Amino acid sequence: MRKYKVIVEYDGTNYFGWQYQKDVPTVQEELSRAIRRITGEDPQVLGAGRTDRGVHALGQVATFLTSRKLPERNWVLAINRYLPPDISVRHIEPVENEFNVIKDAVSKVYCYTILNQEWRSAFWHRRAWWVQKRLDLEKMRAAGGYLVGKYDFSSFETANSPRCSSVRTIFHLEVREIFEVGRLIQIWVEADGFLYNMVRNIAGTLVEVGLGKILVERVPYILQRRDRRLAGPTAPPQGLCMIEVKYSRS
């Protein structure tokens, strides 16, 4: 049996997240079904992260085992042939059987996109959170700076999440402004791991800061108190995208 690593992109609008669930469509099930049609085997697809319902990905990473042999390019074409148009395999390569797509990951990169303009957009409504009132980017950047480092992020974790530890390290957090199509604000976050809804809760908090509802200077206090009730709301899922899973720090 040979293990393969695949990089998958998808529009999460029509799916109940990555992880398999009974009687509802998921990305993992669609990918498993496509591989099964090629190999005739149960592929047992394992993903690097469990994106939630409505969340997108450009760089989800998954692995599967098979005895079927095909050239790498043929694998991509064959799997994509059986996938729906909102899921696509970008790359596939063989890896050592000892490779663990979850445990061997050293960091993940997510991007949260906000459409910040007065009028709604037909183009961005599945890709961004529409916030009409103008956001103060400098305040958002200053607040985001307080979150870089190794901390207990309980204040940015959805309550009652079954985690052994809420300590994570954010390596990089950047707030970008783009004017190509309207005013887009993107929050890019790279960390060694993420708690449940952590990026969406950070995005909701930074938007509150940008609207003047939370003071920049209050963010360290929110972080220190480890109380989810003190932070901002959970941003809607459609603005979130998994960009990349890294297996070496570079």
Residue 102 lies in a domain: no
Residue 186 and residue 122 share a domain: yes
Q: Which of 22-36, 61-75, 104-118, 204-218 is the least confident region?
A: 61-75
90 and 111 fall within a common domain: no
**86 and 144 share one domain:** no
**pLDDT tens column, 95-134:** 999 999 999 999 999 999 999 999 999 999 999 999 999 9
**Are residues 145 and 239 both part of a single domain?**
yes
| Whether the predicted model's global pTM rises above the 0.75 cut | yes
Is residue 18 located within the same domain as residue 120?
no
Q: Total domain count for the chain?
A: 2
112 shares its domain with 174: yes
pLDDT at 250 over 60: no
Instruction: Indicate the residue among 65, 95, 125 that finishes a domain.
Output: 95
| Residue 163 and residue 87 share a domain | no
Considering the domain boundaries, does residue 159 fall inside one? yes
- Nearest-angstrom CA–CA distance, 56 and 147: 24
Domain of 157, in residue numbers? 107-246
In this structure, what CATH number is given to the domain that contains residue 17? 3.30.70.580
pLDDT at 4 over 90: yes
Q: Are residues 113 and 207 in the same domain?
A: yes
* Per-residue model confidence (pLDDT) at position 161: 64
Q: Which residues pair with 123 in a beta bridge?
A: none
Average pLDDT over residues 199-215: 98
Active site residues: 52
Higher pLDDT, 143 or 73: 143
* 158 shares a domain with 85: no
Distances from the Cα of 61 to the Cα of 27, 104, 241, angstroms: 12, 12, 13
pLDDT digits (tens, 9 = 90+) for 125-183: 999 999 999 999 999 999 999 999 999 999 999 876 667 789 999 999 999 998 777 78
- Co-location of 23 and 67 in the same domain: yes
234 and 172 belong to one structural domain:
yes
